């Protein structure tokens, strides 16, 4: 696939998802206004895929930024792909939106998602943090009307998700990677002794060879594997830099070296839900 700034994947419902998205999650203590300004910058830079969620607590700010950039002529609404994730209460999406859910009573919730799509509240519906077994529960559900278009999961050089990626690909489900750059130490639930993705010596060496940053190489790696990636930053310079991943190519040797770094390590282990019957991370993938 020839990757460029306007590249997209066609999902199983025929809708197009841009291959790089802007992530808007921030820790609770982070001022909500930062999400608004960062989203404005991201759209100006060229991002056309915005990822948000009810639980992030900044949907209003992200929405204001989107409306502002439409109003000033930077983009049209139909140019933007917006992903939302509901909280306890369903909320409407417009026709250019995608709705995905994390965990719950899988089959009943999926039927509710299908009804949202039928009602025109979302153009596409998908899932997040699902393992293979949970995806199969949906795919094998009697009376299934719509397959998930995507599965959004943690994905980085220490958790390459290659088996899950191949399973998703075999069922025409797009794998969307979050935390591709690792996870910030600002998140209090992150182990402060965890490895730092962007300081990995192999990644840094490959970045130096291509005259790119470790973040750009980390993103490019998963793009070349065929995943969609989410890049998250509230720093304007890094927002721009993270989008500059379309002017170089990783060699087969580079890809092999990066694949060797996988250690199935999760930053987002969600251990508060470890005893939930649908906790997804007990399985291999």
Residues classed as catalytic: 56
* CA 285 – CA 274 distance, rounded (Å): 16
End-to-end distance of the chain based on CA atoms, in angstroms?
A: 26
Between CA 222 and CA 229 the distance in angstroms is 7
From residue 75, give the alpha-carbon distance in Å to each of 36, 38, 189: 16, 16, 36
Question: Residue 125: helix, strand or coil by DSSP?
Answer: strand
Angle between helices 106-118 and 132-139 (to 10 degrees): 60
Q: Distances in Å between the alpha carbon of 170 and those of 12, 65, 136? A: 12, 37, 12
The 3-state DSSP class for residue 44 equals helix
Q: Are strands 150-154 and 124-128 parallel, antiparallel or unpaired?
A: parallel
Neighbours of 42 (CB within 10 A): 29
Q: How far apart are CA 140 and CA 158, in angstroms?
A: 31
User: Distance (Å, rounded) from C-alpha 176 to C-alpha 53?
Assistant: 15
Check if the beta carbon of residue 138 is closer than 8 Å to that of residue 111. no
Q: What's the sign of the alpha-carbon dihedral 181, 182, 184, 187?
A: positive
């Amino acid at each position: 696939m020839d990757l460029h700034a306007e590249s997209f994947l066609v999902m199983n419902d025929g809708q197009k998802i841009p291959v790089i998205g802007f992530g808007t999650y921030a820790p609770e203590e982070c001022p909500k206004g930062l999400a608004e300004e960062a989203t404005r910058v991201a759209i100006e830079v060229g991002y056309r895929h915005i990822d948000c969620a009810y639980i992030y607590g900044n949907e209003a700010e992200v929405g204001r930024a989107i409306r502002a950039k439409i109003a000033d002529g930077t983009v049209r609404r139909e140019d933007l792909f917006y992903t939302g994730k509901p909280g306890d209460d369903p909320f409407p999406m417009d026709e250019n939106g995608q709705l995905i859910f994390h965990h719950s009573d899988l089959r009943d919730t999926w039927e509710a998602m299908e009804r949202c799509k039928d009602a025109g509240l979302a153009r596409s519906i998908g899932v997040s943090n699902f393992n293979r077994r949970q995806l199969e529960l949906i795919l094998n559900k009697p009376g299934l009307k719509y397959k998930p278009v995507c599965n959004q999961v943690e994905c980085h050089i220490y958790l390459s998700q290659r088996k899950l990626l191949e399973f998703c690909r075999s069922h025409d489900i797009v794998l969307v990677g979050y935390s591709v750059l690792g996870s910030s130490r600002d998140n209090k639930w992150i182990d402060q002794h965890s490895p730092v993705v962007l300081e990995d010596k192999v990644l840094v060496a490959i970045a130096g060879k291509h005259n790119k940053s470790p973040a750009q190489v980390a993103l490019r790696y998963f793009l070349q594997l065929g995943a969609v990636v989410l890049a998250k930053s509230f720093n304007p310079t890094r927002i721009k830099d993270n989008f500059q991943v379309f002017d170089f190519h990783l060699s087969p040797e580079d890809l092999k070296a990066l694949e060797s770094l996988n250690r199935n390590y999760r930053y987002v282990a969600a251990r508060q839900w470890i005893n939930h019957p649908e906790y997804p991370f007990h399985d291999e993938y």
